[in-house]
């Protein structure tokens, strides 16, 4: 897999989660998951409160 695509889906996951945090819908009511492009049976999610540890 091309590294740019790999980083892109993780960047989008982080950005989407930050949007939910900013809108105050991440606390138990909302989350974002993305399908791993390398393995379609796996999904990525940022764990609760984990979004604060990621820098863009």
pLDDT in tens, 23-34: 877 666 667 889
Give the residue numbers spanning the domain of 24. Answer: 1-39
In a domain? residue 48: no
In a domain? residue 8: yes
In a domain? residue 17: yes
What pTM, to 2 d.p., does this model score? 0.63
In a domain? residue 45: no
Residue 18 has pLDDT above 80, yes or no: yes
Of the candidates 11, 4, 1, the one whose C-alpha atom is nearest the C-alpha of residue 34 is 11
In a domain? residue 23: yes
User: Mean pLDDT over residues 13-18, rounded?
Assistant: 86
Domain count, the chain: 1
Average pLDDT of the chain, as a whole number: 75
User: Mean pLDDT over residues 16-39, rounded?
Assistant: 80
């Amino acid at each position: 897999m091309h590294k740019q695509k790999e980083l892109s889906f993780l960047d989008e996951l982080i950005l989407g989660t930050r949007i939910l945090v900013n809108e105050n819908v991440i606390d138990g009511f909302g989350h974002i998951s993305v399908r791993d492009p390398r393995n379609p049976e796996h999904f990525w999610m940022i764990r609760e409160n984990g979004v604060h540890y990621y820098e863009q």
